[in-house]
Structures are given as C-alpha cells and as structure tokens.
Amino acid sequence: MAATKLDASSTVAALRRSFEGGLTRPLGWRRAQLLALKDLLRHGEDELIDAMRADLGKPTVESRLTDLSFVAAEIDVMLRHLDAWASPERVRVPFAQRPGQATIIREPLGVALVIAPWNYPVHLLLLPMAAAVAAGNCVVGKPSEISPATSAALARLAERHLDPQAVAIVEGGPEEAEMLLEQRFDKIFYTGNGRVGRIVMEAAARHLTPVTLELGGKSPVLVDADADIDVAARRIAWGKFLNAGQTCVAPDYALVHERVERRLVDALARTLRTFYGEDPKRSRDYARIVNQQHFERLSRLLAATSGTIACGGEHDKAQRYFAPTVVSEVLPDDPLMDDEIFGPILPVLRVGDMDEAVQHVSSRGKPLALYVFSASKSSVDRILERTSSGTAGVNLTVQQLAIPGLPFGGVGPSGMGAYHGRHGFEAFSHRRAVFSKPTQLDPPVQYPPYTKIKEWILQKML
C-alpha cells in the first residue's frame, strides 16, 4: 500500500501517540516485539526467499545467510543483552561533587524512520528496525521500490506479526519517502547512495533530527606480494560476486603488488570456475542484476574500459545476467574507477608496492570498507595507520559485518553513525545524564556570598 500525504502524517501521529503513552518503553514489550520479528523471519522464510529470488535472482543459501539468519542472529544478541544495555550506567563522581550518584540512562528517542535500499532488502530494513524497537522506539520502515516483491512481502508479514500501534511499514518510492521526510521524526536511519543521503540529511535538518547514514563508495582491496594468493582469490571472489556484486562492502577494485598480479588474476579466474562452473548463467548460486537501468549502467561501464577482460564479460539483457568479470591492466583514470561499481566487475590495478596503493586509496574519499591481504603484520599495520575507512578486513572480505561487537558504518562520504549489536541500540537511544544528590548534607561553601575562606576551600576542592 502506498502512502498518501494524509497517510504519512496520520501514520506518524498515531505512532507518536503510542510512544507518548509509554507503550514501547517496558523491556517486556521490546522483548515481545523482537521475538515477533524472529517469528516473522521464521514463518515468512519461504515468502521472503521467493521474493528475493524474484527481485534479485538471489540464491536461497545467500538469502538465508546474508538476510534471514543474519538478522535473526543479531536479534538473538539483542535479546541476550537487552537488560544490560538498558540498565543505568554508573559513572564516577569527583570528590568535590560528593555525596551523589551519577548515571547515564539510555532512553528511547521517540518515533524513528528507517529507509532501506534493495540489495539486502530484508536485512537492511529489519535489522535497523529491530535495533529501534530494542531501544524502545516506535518505528516506520520504508523498503525500496526497486525490490518490489520483497517490499510487498515485508509489508504483508509485518502486518501479520508486529504491533501496529508501534511499528509500520510504508511501501513506495522517492515520492513516498519524501512525504515521510516532511514529517518530524526523532531519528532517521538511511541506507543507500550518497545523493539521496544528502536529501535525507537536509530534510532531517529542518526538524533537527539526528541521522545515521549508511552509504557506499569504492571499497579497495590491497594485495601485497607476500599474500597467500589462492586464499586471497577465494575470499575476494566470494565477497565481490556475492549477490552479483551488489553489496555495499564488496571489494570494488583491487590494488595488487606487481609481483603477484598475474598470479592473482589467474587464481581469480580459476576460483570463479570452481564457484559457478564453466557457465555461471546456469549456476543456481549466482544472482541477477536488480533491474534494466543498473544492467545498462554496468554494460556501458564495461564497454568503456580500456582494461583487458581477464574472465567473464558476457551479459544477457533479457535475463539481467552479468557474468562475474575480472578486468586487468586497469589504469587509475579508467571509467571503472570513477564511481562505485555496485555490480560483478572487478578492476585490477597493478601497483609497485603497498605505499603506492595507500597513496591511491588516500587520494579518494574514505571508503566504507578496506581490505588487506598480506602475511606481514607490520605491512598491515602500516596500511591501516595511513588510511581510513568505515570498517576494515585483514585477509578477508565482507565478514567483518558478522561480528556483532564491531560497529558497522561509514566515515566521511561513506556515512556517519553505526549499528550492529550494542551499537544499533545506541544509535536509537539518547544517553541522558542524571546526577542526584541527597539533601541531608548541604554545606554552604558553594553559595554566595563568596567569602575568602569559601574561596580558599573551593580552590582546594577543585
């Protein structure tokens, strides 16, 4: 159901009434909704897997691994730690302020808006919504219109499983999102591209609403001369071609030491044959490009490169199939190096050493992820020290997301704020500072008139 203007304001008003009435504050309610979200995932599993296959040709195993089970596992972490996260946190009181008790109380912000993209359409909508609920907020979720089957399935399932007084899913595209953004929210959590991220932040500024922006960018993978090349090829190929390259933290391009570049390119080609067979089009384990517009964008990019297609390159418009493709001999000014590729094309650039790779990375905006493959700890440390990124992986790709204790978010143009595990709870909470004092003792030393003796005592105490 698409929202009308009246729907957007009345939807938010109804949720605000629920929030102000205190519905979502009790930990019991939050726990019940988290369990309801798990039920939604369990009972809706087939429906969601079918929907993601219709939208993205997503393989069942990937739908389970990166959408359904991923969110369920994070909800388990929330359930396990909710009491501790929501408990007041005592902080030290300096001598001059004693006696007294200082605490930080996590309070819910109010009504939150979550706007999600299409590439992991269940994960990127439900995980922030779960964090909002765990922190005691009401929440509106807006799935992406670009994955319409999943959007419709999520709306149906939410209606069946979640508390309509506190949780709403509003389907639609930019128009509906803009209508929602006209409303006053207490938190906006947006995942998607940076152009829309700017629109969201401008809209949020009108109400001074805090934002978390989970954006993208060109995430590099650096491969040093001493890296284990077979392992690197497998881990890079998995992270890059998962979901046909439509992954925000996929390695976008590779900067490879010249001594191992040829070996890595050959190993990638071999690995891709092992993963997807001689004809990946027939593999059940390889996804499709989400729509014709993205398919054409990728076709144009590949046509424009002056690099050498080392493997892949085939594409079929009717099936929105784009082969896993590795392009070698790519130069820094190649069209493949302009914007985030967000598809199954891996440009490989040759570098003389890792310092050259670092210079290349530092000359661009800070990426969402940076990956290093190297056997040398000092080389890894040197690279991490001289670059910045939202997250980093050493001898791996993408898997840093699976550690709930690690914050997941960007820096600079790749975003602001973070979530996962406790960090998600914090993203939807206000840390309220509370200091309380007993009344039995009330020495007059701090009150005017400030006599010489009081001044002396105050100086001594501070």
Q: Which helix (H) or strand (E) holds 391?
A: strand 391-394
Q: Does 177 bind ligand NAD (CB under 6 A)?
A: yes
For residue 368, what are the contacts with CB-CB under 8 A and spacing of at least 6? Answer: 215, 216, 217, 219, 248, 249, 389, 390, 391, 410, 414, 415
Among 248, 256, 348, 361, binds ligand NAD (CB under 6 A): 248
CA distances from 449 to 264, 367, 453, 455, 461 (A): 78, 57, 11, 10, 18
Among 24, 119, 212, 305, binds ligand NAD (CB under 6 A): 119
Closest-by-Cβ residue to ligand NAD is: 216
Give the contact letters, 326-355, x = binds to ligand NAD (CB under 6 A), - = no: --------------x-x-------------
| Residues with catalytic function | 214, 248
Q: Which helix (H) or strand (E) holds 357?
A: helix 354-362
Q: Does 142 bind ligand NAD (CB under 6 A)?
A: yes
Nearer to ligand NAD, 260 or 290 (CB): 290
Instruction: Evaluate whether 122 touches 52 at the Cβ level (below 8 Å).
Output: yes
CB neighbour burial string for 240-251, b if at least 16 within 10 angstroms, e if fewer: bbbbbbbbbbbb
Token pair belonging to 124: 């990127």
Choices 8-16, 144-152, 301-309, 311-319; region in contact with ligand NAD by CB under 6 A: 144-152
Residue 223, Ramachandran bin (φ over 0: left; ψ between -120 and 50: alpha; else beta): beta
Give the contact letters, 389-428, x = binds to ligand NAD (CB under 6 A), - = no: ---------------------x----x-------------
Give the contact letters, 191-230, x = binds to ligand NAD (CB under 6 A), - = no: xxx--x--x--------------xxx--------------
Q: Does 117 bind ligand NAD (CB under 6 A)?
A: yes
Instruction: Evaluate whether 136 touches 427 at the Cβ level (below 8 Å).
Output: no
* 3-state SS, residue 134: helix
We find the least distance from the C-beta atom of residue 20 to ligand NAD, in angstroms, to be 26
C-alpha angle with apex 375: 374 to 377, nearest 5 degrees? Answer: 90
- Count of residues in contact with ligand NAD, rule CB under 6 A: 29
Segment 362 to 391, residues that bind ligand NAD, using CB under 6 A: 368
Nearer to ligand NAD, 312 or 415 (CB): 415
CA distance 127 to 404: 12
Nearer to ligand NAD, 108 or 217 (CB): 217
The site for ligand NAD (CB under 6 A) is made up of 115-119, 124, 142, 144-146, 173-174, 177-178, 181, 191-193, 196, 199, 214-216, 248, 340, 342, 368, 410, 415
